[in-house]
Amino acid sequence: MHLKHFFVTAAVLSTVLISHTAGAQEPLKIGAVYALTGPVAPYGVAQQKALQLRTDALNAKGGLKGRKLQVFFYDTEGNGNKAVQFTRKAIESDKVDIILGPSTSGEALLAAPIANEAKVPLISHSAAQTVVDPARPYVFQTAQYDRIAVPVALQEFKRLGYTKVALLSSTDGYGQSGTAVLQELAPKYGISIILEQFDRQDTDMTAQVLRARQSSADVMLIWSTFPAPAIILRNAKAAGFAKPIYNSFAMAAPDFLNQAGPNAENTFVMSAALLLPEALSDSHPSKKAVMEEYQEFLARYKEAPTPSAQHALDAMSIIEDSVKRIDGDVNRQSLRDAIERTDIFGANGHFKFSPTDHGVSTENAPIVFLLVKGGKFTAAR
């Protein structure tokens, strides 16, 4: 009996000792809740590639603070309900330390509160300001959002002397968010907005284009994701719309050129500098981050990154920088606290987080205007 007791105690003691030492090498778990299929898959797939390349590179160097990075990918298909389900799964079953994503604003607005309540840090790749304003303790965002992009567009229109803008926006979350910000800020630049709307899945926007033409606006601004802008450009050409046409940063991707074809010629697209780094001036503080991210993506995948990739790469840069600053155990709480004190430059801009500011800075955003010429994106000026 004594022998049996001895063996039981030995077994228990050794399991405890082994699990304790194994704890030090437990991987750092990252849950990536991305839209990998579905209409917005171009965004999610680019982010997945970017995340994969950065975590592989870090793991090759031994991980962060001796802990390897383990990524769990979840495909939400761009669906908010799935985003919520997978966020829960990541937190409860896979027990991740931090969540990256979701890829779109609609999903983020649903999934972020879940992470916040469960006290798990989440770095969103969405573009809606409302995800981080008001700031919730555990929710951060790397993507530039409309409140950053809109002033850049309005400033450009002011510089070119436009006072009347025909805004064609979709009725989904992205279009509505952009519309609200544009209508709010336009008067400050002496610009009036004429609003026309359409459903993201509508098949013909001739009526909206005709109204824009009738309104004698100086310029047309399209604020929508795929596939509507390609349809609008075709309708605009057929209706003989002669004024300049601008697209939002949602169209800063090669898919736009594929879909719109010759109708995109001589139109403008607002874009994060990552799409065409040479369009950003060398003196810009984010130029270094932009060039680095562009080169690493190109080297690994032999193709240029689309701007969605930078949301994931910047998130990893933030995590890397934050882990360095943590003394002691790297867990959900310590990660969150360290992230909140981040002050680095990423491809999206300046990340200077504080308890009230969980998004990228609005100042001096690395956004450029691209002109489509010869079926390619070129620097507009």
Partner 1 sequence: MNSLSVVIELAVSGLVIGCVYALVAWGFTIVFNATGLVNFAAGELVMMGGVISATLHTRFALQPIVTVPLTVIVVAAVSAATDRYFLQKARRQVHMTLVMITIGLAIGLRGAMLFLTGKDFQFPPPFSEFEFPPILGINLSTQGVWVICAVAVMTGVLWWLFAKTWLGYSMRASGENPRAAQLMGVSPRWVSNLSFALAGAMGALAGTLIAPLASANYASGLYFGVKGFSAAVLGGLGSPVGAVVGGLLLGLIESFAAGYVSSGWKDAIALGLLILVLLLMPSGLFGRRATRV
Alpha helices in 93-243 (DSSP H): 105-117, 146-159, 173-185, 206-214, 228-238
Q: In this structure, are strands 367-373 and 268-272 parallel, antiparallel, or unpaired?
A: antiparallel
Distinct helix (H) and strand (E) counts, the chain: 12, 14
Span interacting with partner 1, options 58-66, 80-88, 206-214, 328-336, rule CB under 8 A = 206-214
Taking the CA atoms of 205, 208, 211 and 215 in sequence, report the sign of the dihedral they define.
negative
Q: Does 230 bind partner 1 (CB under 8 A)?
A: yes
Q: Out of 4, 60, 61, 203, which residue is the one contacting partner 1 (CB under 8 A)? A: 203
Which residues have a Cβ under 8 Å from the Cβ of 278 and sit 6 or more positions away? Answer: 379
Span interacting with partner 1, options 234-242, 291-299, 300-308, 353-361, rule CB under 8 A = 234-242
- Binders of partner 1 among residues 2 to 61 (CB under 8 A) are 37-39, 41-42
Q: Out of 199, 329, 343, 363, which residue is the one contacting partner 1 (CB under 8 A)? A: 199
Q: Does 146 bind partner 1 (CB under 8 A)?
A: no
Q: Does 257 bind partner 1 (CB under 8 A)?
A: no
Neighbours of 29 (CB within 10 A): 18
Cα angle 109, 170, 232 (rounded to 5 degrees) comes to 145
C-alpha dist (Å) from residue 267 to 183, 209, 270, 291: 23, 15, 10, 25
Q: Does 234 bind partner 1 (CB under 8 A)?
A: yes
Q: Does 206 bind partner 1 (CB under 8 A)?
A: yes
CB of residue 168 vs partner 1: minimum separation in angstroms?
Answer: 8
Q: Out of 88, 136, 211, 287, which residue is the one contacting partner 1 (CB under 8 A)? A: 211
The token duo for 117 is: 């309540």
User: Closest CB to partner 1 among 241 and 294?
Assistant: 241
User: Could you list the residues that contact partner 1 (CB under 8 A)?
Assistant: 37-39, 41-42, 171, 195-199, 201-204, 206-208, 210-211, 213-214, 226-227, 230-231, 234, 237-240, 255, 259, 261
